[in-house]
Amino acid sequence: MAFQSSVNPAGLTRGGQLNGTGDARALYLKLFSGEMFKGFQNNTIARDLVMRRTLNGGKSLQFIYTGRTTAEYHTPGNSILGDSDGRPPVAEKTITCDDLLISSAFVYELDEVLSHYDLRSEISRKIGYALAEKYDRLIFRQIAKGARQASPVQSVGTGGSLVSMEEPGGTQVQVGTTADKAWDASSLVDAFYNAASAMDEKGVSQDGRVGVLSPRQYYALIQNIDTNGLINRDVQGTALQSGNGIIEIAGIKIYKSMNIPFLGNYGVKYGVSGGPANPGNTGDFVGSDSALEAGTAAETGLNNNYGAQDAFDASCGLIFQREAAGVVEAIAPQVQVTSGDVSVIYQGDVILGRLAMGADFLNPACCVELYAGASADATFGDIYPANTSTTTP
């Protein structure tokens, strides 16, 4: 029986150690963690465009709404004891954290030795992409849901009877009466101005207003940048084509994403009369998200109502202000990697990206959903009634 000989461990140069001490792979793990987070950040846009809060010591986070009150002239001799109608009304919104969202891969050590590229770095980016895609899709669904809701704040009269809904709700703006208008630059510009007007009329702050369109919609806009009224038309080249909020319409910065609900799919829809032709060989990247098909009942781990897939058959873009939706994070995007005895036994490592978050709409007045077709999609089963649609002439 042969035995393996060894040299003095103190004489070995370990490139993964920090200052020559401790875990022999410590520096490698930090490098990977950075790669995963970069992959996540480069592919999510919704995280920094809405309200984000950290959840500690609980399963959900409460947001408080306060409605408006009235002003009146004082009558000499009358005592001042507050409005008799109990204003301002107060309501709450609770966002629950969904279960742990993970993406993982096993890296065999021999594969790393034989590969001619940085295998871990490549896998880490793909893990980050997977988490980011799901993150954005959940948030964008909730913004679309908010656009179909009345305000949670309602005025209650004497004896607890409902008098009226005084706070503004969400807005659905028609881009055109047929689905192909979803890609028409002129119709999109008109819809943006209509949406901006509606948000102004509902008292929504102009700070933090953004729009998110599909890539083909975005490119349709910038191809006609000299004639369709876009601001910052002097911006050219890669900056203009990046889709990262460079151009504006009515003060609304425009982003592009493949993760918005789009005519029943995500980001693109082929087969629509007058719409884009299928380029072929699209793989499984485009299309519907079957895991979210029936909302909370379809995928174990969802604790918020993200709607059924067919609830977005007419949806073709989102415009919102940062108070439109809220995200609670119990575990921010991070990475875990096995090491030690586990690595020895399996001659490789499990690389795990994880996060725990939940999302829902907050202020419906800050949510605008663009739709193309004869009628807007209806609400999909929340506690508030659907909001009245606003059409574009």
The more confidently predicted of residues 327 and 111 is: 327
| Domain membership flag for residue 26 | yes
Q: What is the percentage of the chain residues whose pLDDT exceeds 70?
A: 73
- Say if residue 224's pLDDT is above 80: no
The more confidently predicted of residues 192 and 283 is: 192
Mean pLDDT of the chain: 79
- Say if residue 89's pLDDT is above 50: yes
The edge-to-edge listing of strands for the beta sheet with 51-54 is 51-54, 325-337, 348-361, 101-108
Residue with tokens 């993970």: 102
**What does the alpha-carbon distance between residue 146 and residue 260 come to, in Å, rounded to a whole number?**
14
| Domain membership flag for residue 382 | no
The more confidently predicted of residues 142 and 305 is: 142
- Say if residue 151's pLDDT is above 70: yes
| Contact (CB, 8 A) for 365 and 293 | no
| Domain membership flag for residue 384 | no
CATH number of the domain that 313 lies in? 3.30.2400.10
**What does the alpha-carbon distance between residue 264 and residue 370 come to, in Å, rounded to a whole number?**
13
Owning domain of residue 99: 22-67+85-278+286-372
Helix (H) and strand (E) counts in the chain: 7, 16
Q: Comparing 205-214, 224-233, 244-253, 291-300, which segment has the lowest mean pLDDT?
A: 291-300
> 88 preceded by cis ω (within 30°)?
yes
**What does the alpha-carbon distance between residue 316 and residue 104 come to, in Å, rounded to a whole number?**
32
| Contact (CB, 8 A) for 189 and 229 | yes
Tokens describing residue 242: 């990046």
Give the pLDDT band of residue 332 (cuts 50, 70, 90).
confident
The more confidently predicted of residues 310 and 177 is: 177
pTM summary value: 0.80
Give the pLDDT band of residue 32 (cuts 50, 70, 90).
low
Identify the DSSP state of 46: G
Distances (CA, A) of 269 to 183, 211, 216, 315, 370: 11, 19, 10, 11, 15
3-state secondary structure of 306: coil
| Domain membership flag for residue 330 | yes
Strands (E), the chain: 51-54, 60-66, 90-96, 101-108, 155-156, 162-164, 171-176, 209-213, 244-249, 252-256, 261-262, 265-266, 315-321, 325-337, 348-361, 367-372
The more confidently predicted of residues 91 and 270 is: 270
Give the pLDDT band of residue 383 (cuts 50, 70, 90).
very low
- Say if residue 296's pLDDT is above 50: no
| Domain membership flag for residue 337 | yes
The more confidently predicted of residues 233 and 167 is: 167
Which of 157, 152, 172 has the alpha carbon at shortest distance from 86?
Answer: 157
- Say if residue 9's pLDDT is above 60: no
- Say if residue 43's pLDDT is above 90: no
| Domain membership flag for residue 15 | no
| Domain membership flag for residue 10 | no
How far does Cα 182 stand from its chain's mean position? 21
Which of 221, 270, 267 has the alpha carbon at shortest distance from 241?
Answer: 221
The more confidently predicted of residues 297 and 66 is: 66
* pLDDT at residue 138, as a whole number: 92
* pLDDT at residue 22, as a whole number: 74
Identify the DSSP state of 298: T
**Over residues 277-303, mean pLDDT:** 66
**What does the alpha-carbon distance between residue 175 and residue 188 come to, in Å, rounded to a whole number?**
6
- Say if residue 302's pLDDT is above 60: yes
How many domains, the chain?
Answer: 1
| Domain membership flag for residue 383 | no
Tokens describing residue 101: 């969202």
Q: Strands 367-372 and 171-176: what pairing?
A: parallel
